[in-house]
Chain A
Amino acid sequence: MGLFIPHIYNGEAISLSSVPVVQVKPFRLAVIAHVAAGDLISAMFAQPLGDGFRLYAVLCAPLREQLGIIATDVADSYPALTPDCPAANGFEREIFEQWGIRPEGHPWLKPIRFQPSRMTGQTPAVGITEFFSMEGGESHEVAVGPVHAGVIEPGHFRFLCHGETVFHLEISLGYQHRGIERALAGGPGGRTIHYMETLAGDTTVGHAAAYCAVMEALSGIQVPPVANSIRAIAAELERMANHIGDLGALAGDVGFLPTLNYCGRIRGDVLNLTAMLCGNRFGRTLLTPGGVRFGIDPDRRQRLLTRLDAVEKDLDTALSLMFSAPSVLARLERTGTLSMDLARQIGLVGVAARACGLSHDVRTGLPYGAYRFDSPPASTFHSGDCFARAYVRKLEVEQSIAFIRRQLNAPSAQNELRKPLLPLGPDRVTVALTEGWRGDICHVAATDHEGRFAFYKVVDPSFHNWLGLAFALRGQQISDFPLCNKSFNLSYCGHDL
């Protein structure tokens, strides 16, 4: 399988100089071969180095429970990977947009988030780019956004249609770009944890957990077990709240109002459980590098368990209603279908990938924190359609409830919540993956000679998955867009950063 890429563990820090730097050709071949063999590109990015740039690729090998990191030095161009490895598409567009490095032979270097160039500071006018177009009788385009009809983030969608049938969907994002990655370099500082908690606000815990893992790796400390358990409980509550909200919204999109209304409320009940942990419904302020800021006293433990029972009971009727209604199933089944093969090729992650039958889940494949001792089994389904994406969510919610119960029922005798952080080691690099409710969250950070962040790279699961939504729409009715969109429910702010 081409060049061997040395592995590191999830959340392990190594010295920056031990990252193998190879020629461009073996770099390309290694990445392409590994991805062809089933690896995911967790991150691929450039950093300025001397007169040129260093290109890094972080690969995740789910089946071997390993991460790999490899680098190459380039001037202002290199032969693109995308033609041989479509999963590199988004990354190469980003590298071009940020640094002006041209991946030669890339099919179409469209702007990805219309962000200021890191070299010149120039910002391209948002949304102004070339799109696919279609000509012929009855062919037409429908453009929507950036401001959409609901209470939802901004993005621009362009449907290329023939009659009612969508031939292709163009997705143009960047409206939420607020410069987080740029601001992270040189840190950590007072705002760093807040950037992490607001990368994607509905994934506060998922991203904060990855950040904490980065900090703990770079400072070489171990988190107390209680803190790991509380982090995992919060992460599963986050997964539950979002999945339940999505299931309700899917029911709403097919006109099945009982489940829409019940799930809307139950989602709120779950957010309130998170607020019981830390006062904030999204888990803000709970995680801190070194541990957690709030513990679970016996009384709180009992109240959490009682309310979890109530949530489970309410959810059971709400969901069994939905999943037994033929009118719902008829709309979900065979709508927005992706094949397992395509999912692999474009590097889909998380719920969307597991709904295509792929079993990758960071909690089981590369376990971290409390998941090292108790990882919920990866929930999969094979049909790749809206039904599968709904059903996998249902399975995951059930697993999350069981997991939280196990954690709460096994209180630890220790009660240390956090360890003091030590200064970050200089010239080190680390990769931390967590399983956010949408899928793989990847943070890659390196320190300079002084132990400040030389760079801090964030890859939200949505970055991998937006293209999946575009493909899911092909050959569908345009009226199925809301349903397909909701079945992915991707993050704009997590993509745009």
Chain B
Amino acid sequence: MLRVLRARLQQKHRTMGFPSGPAPEMPDRFAGRPVIQEPCPGDCRVCRDTCPVQAIRRGEDGRVELDMGRCLFCGACSEACPKGMIAFGPDYQLASARRGDMVVSPGPGTRAEAVSELARKFFSRSLKLRQVSAGGCNACEADVNVLGTPAWDMGRFGIQFVASPRHADGLLVTGPVTGNMLLALEKTYAAVPEPRIVIACGACAISGGPFADHPEAKNGVDSVLPVDLFIPGCPPHPLTALDGLLRFLGRPVPDCKKVI
């Protein structure tokens, strides 16, 4: 018993102050929201052709657009760009309630809205989630699990993963939705009582990620279920996920002002 107490003292209280206090320090090499500059030469397609998952296109007005819902944040485009027009900044606030809001255009860029009226009304003080892995690589699961550890402690906000869909207010889905998981996902969703929400976590769940257009899998959750929150990343940093969940529920979070 004494040993346990001594260890407890040595390990200290480590739950972070976020969101009322500052966000935990992010690694200096972290790749967050892309920042795109202008103007690009009219015929340049280097970034578009470099991107392994077709996240970049040139819009109708010729401007470069980058879809964070597809992006793996690999940095290949910024390495390839001959003019250094694409960089990945420290902004971790990437979650969005609408699929289209994840497309980044040149310029400073604004944070996408993540709040859901339904979630704010029913779940803002208690959100029970059933997690479903539907393909993918288990990294999203691993970093979502981290939110339950004492440092992040999302239980503080009433957010919790539960064992049964019947106890849940919604699903948090990872992976592109493999053919082999399709039925299980549909059945799990059907078992969640209404009103219910669905969160797509990670590039795979949003767009298929590196497996986009594989015949063995779908291109993400919204091809199967209505999605209420998208959390980009490969995998999303836990801070991106927690910030997204809190904003989804309409709870206050600090604004990430750091824009490069």
Q: Which residues of A contact B (CB under 8 A)?
A: 114-116, 123, 126, 146-147, 149-154, 174-180, 182-183, 189-191, 194-195, 197-202, 204, 245, 258, 261-262, 264-265, 267-268, 271-272, 275-282, 284-285, 293-294, 314, 317-318, 321, 324, 491-493
B19 within 8 A of A: no
- The answer to whether residues A198 and B209 also contact, given A175-B180, A491-B138 and a CB cut-off of 8 A, is yes
The interface stretch among B49-57, B93-101, B110-118 is B49-57
**Contacting pair A179 B217 (CB below 8 A):** yes
B11 within 8 A of A: yes
**Contacting pair A146 B51 (CB below 8 A):** no
B222 within 8 A of A: no
Q: Give the residues from 120 to 144 in chain B that come closer than 8 angstroms, CB to CB, to chain A.
A: 130-144
What B residues does A493 contact at CB under 8 A? 135-138
Q: Which residues of B contact A (CB under 8 A)?
A: 3-4, 6-8, 10-11, 14, 27-31, 50-53, 72-76, 130-146, 148-152, 161, 163-165, 175-176, 178-181, 183-184, 188, 209-211, 214-217, 234-235, 237-238
**Contacting pair B237 A281 (CB below 8 A):** yes
**Contacting pair B133 A285 (CB below 8 A):** no
**Contacting pair B151 A268 (CB below 8 A):** yes
CB-CB nearest in chain B for A198: B137
- The answer to whether residues A198 and B139 also contact, given A178-B178, A191-B52, A264-B150 and a CB cut-off of 8 A, is yes
**Contacting pair A150 B161 (CB below 8 A):** yes
* Bound complex: CA A493 to CA B143 (Å): 16
* Bound complex: CA A284 to CA B73 (Å): 9
**Contacting pair A190 B180 (CB below 8 A):** no
**Contacting pair A258 B30 (CB below 8 A):** no
**Contacting pair A282 B139 (CB below 8 A):** yes
* Bound complex: CA A271 to CA B165 (Å): 30
- The answer to whether residues A279 and B31 also contact, given A194-B210, A268-B149, A268-B151 and a CB cut-off of 8 A, is yes
**Contacting pair B74 A284 (CB below 8 A):** yes
What A residues does B183 contact at CB under 8 A? 126
- The answer to whether residues A179 and B180 also contact, given A200-B138, A268-B149, A493-B138 and a CB cut-off of 8 A, is no
**Contacting pair B7 A265 (CB below 8 A):** no
* Bound complex: CA A195 to CA B53 (Å): 11
**Contacting pair A174 B180 (CB below 8 A):** yes
**Complex A-B: 13 CB contacts under 8 Å:** A146-B181, A151-B144, A151-B145, A174-B180, A178-B136, A179-B215, A179-B217, A199-B137, A202-B137, A245-B142, A280-B31, A285-B75, A321-B4
In the complex, how many angstroms separate the beta carbon of B172 from the nearest chain A beta carbon?
8
* Bound complex: CA A284 to CA B237 (Å): 12
* Bound complex: CA A317 to CA B161 (Å): 29
> Looking at B140, B179, B180, which has the most chain A CB atoms within 10 Å of its CB?
B180
* Bound complex: CA A197 to CA B137 (Å): 9
What B residues does A272 contact at CB under 8 A? 27
Q: Which listed residue, B73, B135, B141, B235, touches A178 by the CB 8 Å rule?
A: B135
**Contacting pair A194 B52 (CB below 8 A):** yes
What B residues does A271 contact at CB under 8 A? 143, 146
**Contacting pair A201 B74 (CB below 8 A):** no
* Bound complex: CA A140 to CA B50 (Å): 56
What A residues does B133 contact at CB under 8 A? 152-154, 176, 492
**A190-B50, A245-B142, A285-B73 are known contacts; what are 9 more A-B pairs with Cβ within 8 Å?**
A115-B216, A177-B178, A183-B211, A198-B209, A202-B137, A267-B146, A268-B152, A271-B146, A285-B31
**Contacting pair B161 A151 (CB below 8 A):** yes
* Bound complex: CA A285 to CA B76 (Å): 9
CB-CB nearest in chain A for B50: A190
* Bound complex: CA A154 to CA B177 (Å): 12
- The answer to whether residues A262 and B30 also contact, given A123-B179, A178-B214 and a CB cut-off of 8 A, is no
In the complex, how many angstroms separate the beta carbon of B258 from the nearest chain A beta carbon?
15
What B residues does A201 contact at CB under 8 A? 136-140, 142, 235
CB-CB nearest in chain A for B180: A126
**Contacting pair B214 A183 (CB below 8 A):** yes
* Bound complex: CA A14 to CA B30 (Å): 39
In the complex, how many angstroms separate the beta carbon of B220 from the nearest chain A beta carbon?
12
